[in-house]
Amino acid sequence: MADSDRSPVSVIGLGAMGRALAGALLDRGHPTTVWNRTAGRAGELAARGATVAATAAEAVAASPVTVICVLDYEAVRETLDPVAGTLTGRTLVNLTNGTPEQARTTAGWAAGHGVDYVDGGIMAVPPMIGQDGALILYSGSQEAFTAHERTLGALGTATYLGEDAGRASLYDLALLSAMYGMFGGFFHAVAMTGSEKVPAAEFTPLVVAWLNAMIAGLPAMAAALDSGDHSADDSNVEMQAASYVNLLDASRAQGVSTELVEPMGALLRRAVAAGRGAGAVSSLIDLLHTDHA
Ligand code: FVH
């Protein structure tokens, strides 16, 4: 069926994210069929016009495209293995968080059953779904993505990353690692100032301003990473390794655990020991690459 503003869609998984996805589809006028392992989670969606399927097979049969968003890939396979025959000839969009390897394996499983497969990574929290600010990364079958692009646009800004089904999940997890790094730094910073009773709300505007200033430097750092030229810099690794010791010592003295910030200190020390002290901090990434598992 050609994609239109009102193509029917089925949504499997009605956790916080699945409910938001189904809600966004209903908002755009898509006939939406929903199913969840545990009954009773579709009440509000049903009141808004969703059809509640009695089984996963019934949900899959109701639409040319099924979106699944459950806890993990084990739950995906547990749910979809028994309905693979019903999925044949239809499109499966899997927005469950997982690894690139899991995405590629699932793409292989889908191909084996004649299912068009698109994997995805949601860079948004449930209240953002349906808005342009919700970035959703997709990879896998280009034909299927293009066929359903308008429908997927109901969920957020759809960005297609290529035929490799694992690519969306690689980007998703990489972006999450950047987010967790930021959270870790923020938590540690607030713990330090909190050790002297500074309210987090008072200190946080400074954190935001400082991080924004540092974020502005990321494109230049990316250029250094791509070119491999880590020479031109005013803040070399040796200087940063020396001042990092103060960060660790002060944290301990303030009664703050250093568990979130130790790894960067260790990497700086390793870089100095490897003779990289004169280079820019972007050179640290060279030390992170290990062979693929
Ligand atoms: N919520 C968020 O902020 C993030 C944003 C980015 C994307 N993630 C990923 O989305 C997936 C679903 O997350 P969620 O927030 O909907 O999670 P829950 O509210 O905990 O709901 C989990 C649903 O998964 C179903 N489920 C769990 N195990 C199974 C299974 N073995 N078979 C079938 N379904 C299963 C569960 O069903 P039930 O417990 O109600 O029966 C919920 O529908 C996830 O990958 C996030 O990383 C969300």
Residue 96 alpha carbon to ligand 1 centre in Å: 8
Residue 128 alpha carbon to ligand 1 centre in Å: 16
Which of ligand 1's atoms lies nearest the C-alpha of 72?
45
Q: What pLDDT is recorded for position 2?
A: 47
Which of ligand 1's atoms lies nearest the C-alpha of 96?
45
Ligand 1, atom 2: nearest CA belongs to which residue? 125
Q: What pLDDT is recorded for position 234?
A: 82
| The 3-state secondary structure of the chain, one letter per residue | CCCCCCCCEEEECCCHHHHHHHHHHHHCCCCEEEECCCCCCCHHHHHCCCEECCCHHHHHHCCCEEEECCCCHHHHHHHHHHHHHHHCCCEEEECCCCCHHHHHHHHHHHHHCCCEEEEEEEECCHHHCCCCCCEEEEEECHHHHHHCHHHHCCCCEEEECCCCCCHHHHHHHHHHHHHHHHHHHHHHHHHHHHCCCCCHHHHHHHHHHHHHHHHCCHHHHHHHHHHCCCCCCCCEHHHHHHHHHHHHHHHHHCCCCCCCCHHHHHHHHHHHHCCCCCCEHHHHHHHCCCCCC
Q: What pLDDT is recorded for position 290?
A: 84
Ligand 1 pocket test target in 10, 11, 14, 17 with most atoms within 8 Å of CB: 17
In tens digits, the chain (293 residues) has pLDDT values of: 445 568 999 999 999 999 999 999 999 999 999 999 999 999 999 999 999 999 999 999 999 999 999 999 999 999 999 999 999 999 999 999 999 999 999 999 999 999 999 999 999 999 999 999 999 999 999 999 999 999 999 999 999 999 999 999 999 999 999 999 999 999 999 999 999 999 999 999 999 999 999 999 999 999 999 998 988 668 899 999 999 999 999 999 999 999 999 999 999 999 999 999 999 999 899 899 887 66
Ordered domains of the chain (ranges, CATH): 9-162 (3.40.50.720), 171-287 (1.10.1040.10)
Residue 14 alpha carbon to ligand 1 centre in Å: 7
Q: Which residues line ligand 1 (CB under 6 A)?
A: 13-18, 36-38, 41, 69-72, 75, 78-79, 96-97, 122, 125-126
Residue 29 alpha carbon to ligand 1 centre in Å: 24
